[in-house]
Amino acid sequence: AQKVTQAQTEISVVEKEDVTLDCVYETRDTTYYLFWYKQPPSGELVFLIRRNSFDEQNEISGRYSWNFQKSTSSFNFTITASQVVDSAVYFCALSEAGYSGAGSYQLTFGKGTKLSVIP
């Protein structure tokens, strides 16, 4: 069963528009972590945020904001006043307890959302 769903495969917006990237996750654990990573055309994934399951406070970092709602199992990412430099593939990921041979946590990535910001 898919544990991280990013239903939007591709999104195009015009520069300065706001855009929200959706992420829905599935887990039975009470302790887990959620992440967002950005992958620009250069290829290197860049960490954006990590949120633990006990902290439902929304977070804002400049033009970026994240909305974590346990009731809907969602961890959505909003970019305000988008810029061309925001064009990238964005990955949501879930880390939950469970032996996977790679330590005591298992990390599952969503399939990614490709964001294109048009000037």
Partner 1 sequence: DVKVTQSSRYLVKRTGEKVFLECVQDMDHENMFWYRQDPGLGLRLIYFSYDVKMKEKGDIPEGYSVSREKKERFSLILESASTNQTSMYLCASNPWGQGLAGELFFGEGSRLTVL
In DSSP terms, which residues pair with 75 in a beta bridge? 68
β pairing state of 10-14 and 113-118 = parallel
N- to C-terminal Cα distance for the chain? 38
Check: CB of residue 64 under 8 Å from CB of residue 9.
no
11 binds partner 1 (CB under 8 A): no
What is residue 31's DSSP assignment?
S
45 binds partner 1 (CB under 8 A): yes
The interface with partner 1 within residues 64-93 (CB under 8 A) comprises: 91
Region near partner 1 per CB under 8 A, out of 12-20, 56-64, 77-85, 105-113: 105-113
46 binds partner 1 (CB under 8 A): yes
Shortest CB 90 distance to partner 1, Å: 12
119 binds partner 1 (CB under 8 A): no
Name which position in 28, 44, 61, 62 contacts partner 1 (CB under 8 A): 44
Q: How many helices (H) and strands (E) does the chain have?
A: 0, 12
Task: Mark residue 48 as left, alpha or beta (left: phi above 0; alpha: psi -120 to 50; beta: remaining).
Answer: alpha
Q: Which residues bind partner 1 (CB under 8 A)?
A: 4, 33, 35, 37, 42-47, 50, 91, 95, 100-107, 109-112
